[in-house]
Amino acid sequence: MWRLAEEDSVSMPIGFEIAFPSLLEAAKSLDVVFPYDHHALQRIYANREVKLKRIPMEMMHSIPTTILHSLEGMPGVDWRKILRLQSSDGSFLFSPAATASALTQTGDTKCFEYIDRIVKKFDGGVPNVYPVDLFEHIWAVDRLERLGISRYFKQEIKQCLDHVHRHWTEGGICWARNSAVVDVDDTAMAFRLLRLHRYNVSPSVFENFEKDGGFFCFVGQSTQAVTGMYNLNRASQVRFPGEDVLQRAGRFSYEFLREREAQGTIRDKWIISKDLPGEVQYALDFPWYASLPRVEARVYLDQYGGDDDVWIGKTLYRMPLVNNNTYLELAKRDFNRCQVQHQLEWHGLQKWFTENGLEAFGVAPRDVLRAYFLAAACIFEPSRATERLAWARASVMANIISKYLRSELSGNKMVERFMHGGLYEGNNDVSWLKGDAKVEILVGALEKLIDLLAQKALHVGEEPMHINNLLRCVWIEWMMQEINRDDGTNGMSVIEAGSCMVHDKQTSLLLVKIIEICAGRIGEASSMVNSKDNTWFIQLASSICDSLHHRMLLSQVTFMLNFLDIFVVNHVKHWWSYFSFHLSVQRVFSFVAICSIQYSHVYTNYRRYFLLGKQPHVFDISYNSVLHGHVIYL
């Protein structure tokens, strides 16, 4: 009894406050000797009364509530009325215990068929709840994505989300399909994943979980679930402007979680996980728009418990499709593979930088490192090395050329000679450059880069020469824009002390074109070169870039920061709603991320991943580690 007195109510099995008092009453009627008046039991009785006040008997008999899951502990049930609330599969809210209790009281055929079916399925035993198909599908996808291995399961993930979407309702969902009882936990997780995968779901579903300025998980709940509010907050992070219910949900869940965090009470009534406080902290500190795939994967490797995570139902149980060591081992190996390749690529990038004499233009190794970070933060997959390195190299060259053009005193004549002397198709004569060492180095480096990119590009039905010529056109178009652009605030790039410039929208578009070409998407890249067909795309993307660009320009004006943060985030999400219906997420993200990645806190976060990846031991951070090629395996 002392253990029962000290036990936290959060750790109690589901429905314990309903079922346990009924067992005690049954024992008392059989004259079983027991300390029925012990003070530890009084709290349980009190919790039962609170629950029954929230869901009184008349309500329990008229509409589906969570009480259906604990019918075995409810005295005075009108079974004739309760049978009207039976689920379509014959169960009572998918609880074998509650359904068995109803079977003993009513002899209902559908109850028997449900019990018989699951006893045969589980070879004589039954789980504490069945089915849990929506829960398993949603949570498995979430775990695969957060561990950074979802790209290996694209087909399976689509099948999972198709299943969830088929059973999605405007009232919400719960852990199993065809349920009249819904909860905010499953609804929020499903909403977030479905929206991110471009399924059409309405945020108005969350109005069903809003009451008196707050949000709840279940109707009639007696305690608030941390994971329910955690997933509600994550869902609110993918809202579009005008979705007020998500804004309210985000504000409420954020305040609730921060309060629990300050109290040190980040514990949940549904799961015993390895590091729930860490998961909550990451979601609050790095919301969706500021989270990077490799960083999230690196952090989650420390938080994911694999086989050791335990779920709390009427009994403790495990979910092998959601939590298992196979996922964890694959994620560790994949993380190592990516990190090793990234570090090898970084050393190759250093070699390219040195061999082309680019130090002469005031670019430091740290600037090159930053350029590679930004590329690898968004395009991390080993199979996409061509795109990643094209981004990094082109970024370095674009920054050098831009700075040179802005500082060159010879005027447009010199600039035109610089542009046209060596970059027109088939004209590799650079003899005119003799006498100007810097220009010779720069044009020579750009020539070599174009040849290298054309050689490495994926040739999907295209000749290397055509790719080479297309790359030249892209660079020429960009340099013409650099010459003619206004030097005012709208055209300037941000220059940080000791760092390369942060890209403006023209340079961002240049990088996107180069990435598209190198990825073998020649049609997309060609349509962007001097074409008006994609004007709408460029306008929308440029609007995002401008918003982020202005944020960087004014980042030192402290009184403007809060306003700008809200403005930029809302602006990005507004235009994203247009993008998502016309383009693949991969193409849109590659363009937007080139600018959005400029946020310094995001860059710093990614840097932590790249330098060292020890897991689960010390996680040391230093530039020397990466500059000297230290690789540490998980």
The pLDDT value recorded for residue 486 is 60
Q: Please, which residues have CB within 8 angstroms of residue 195's CB and are 6 or more apart in sequence?
A: 201, 238
Q: Burial of 629 by CB count in 10 Å (0-12 exposed, 13-18 middle, 19+ buried)?
A: exposed
Of 421-435, 517-531, 570-584, which one has max mean pLDDT? 517-531
Q: Give pLDDT tens digits for 480-534.
A: 787 776 654 444 444 444 444 456 778 888 888 899 888 887 765 555 555 555 5
Residue that has been written with the tokens 């709390």 in this structure: 312
The rounded distance, in Å, linking the Cα atoms of 68 and 99 is 9
Cis peptide before 464 (omega within 30 of 0): no
Per-residue DSSP letter, 92: B
Which residue type occupies 581?
F
The rounded distance, in Å, linking the Cα atoms of 515 and 599 is 21
Average pLDDT over residues 27-48: 83
Who wins on pLDDT, 575 or 443? 443
Average pLDDT over residues 389-400: 93
The pLDDT value recorded for residue 38 is 82
What residue ranges of the chain are covered by domains with CATH 1.50.10.130? 133-328
User: Are 289 and 596 a contacting pair, CB within 8 Å?
Assistant: yes
The rounded distance, in Å, linking the Cα atoms of 58 and 51 is 14
pTM: 0.82
Q: Please, which residues have CB within 8 angstroms of residue 162's CB and are 6 or more apart in sequence?
A: none
Q: Give pLDDT tens digits for 547-563.
A: 665 665 565 444 344 44
The pLDDT value recorded for residue 477 is 83
Q: Name the token pair of 507.
A: 């340079």
What residue ranges of the chain are covered by domains with CATH 1.10.600.10? 356-598
- Residue 44's pLDDT band, with cuts at 50, 70 and 90, is confident
Q: Please, which residues have CB within 8 angstroms of residue 368's CB and are 6 or more apart in sequence?
A: 349, 350, 353, 392, 396
Choose which CATH entry (1.50.10.130, 2.30.29.30, 2.60.40.1220, 1.20.1110.10) describes domain 133-328. Answer: 1.50.10.130
Q: Please, which residues have CB within 8 angstroms of residue 510's CB and are 6 or more apart in sequence?
A: 394, 398, 474, 475, 478
The pLDDT value recorded for residue 43 is 80
Lowest mean pLDDT among 51-65, 115-129, 544-558: 544-558
The pLDDT value recorded for residue 180 is 93
Q: Is the pLDDT of residue 388 over 90?
A: yes
What CATH homologous superfamily does 356-598 map to? Farnesyl Diphosphate Synthase (1.10.600.10)
Bridge partners (DSSP) listed for residue 95? 92
The rounded distance, in Å, linking the Cα atoms of 221 and 217 is 7
The pLDDT value recorded for residue 342 is 95
What residue ranges of the chain are covered by domains with CATH 1.50.10.160? 2-121
Q: Is the pLDDT of residue 604 over 60?
A: no
CATH number for the domain running over 2-121: 1.50.10.160
Query: How far does the chain reach from its first CA to its final CA, in angstroms?
Result: 44
- Residue 442's pLDDT band, with cuts at 50, 70 and 90, is confident
Q: Give pLDDT tens digits for 179-200.
A: 999 999 999 999 999 999 999 9
Of 442-446, 491-495, 579-583, which one has max mean pLDDT? 442-446
Residue that has been written with the tokens 């067992």 in this structure: 23
**C-alpha 279: how far from its chain's center?**
12
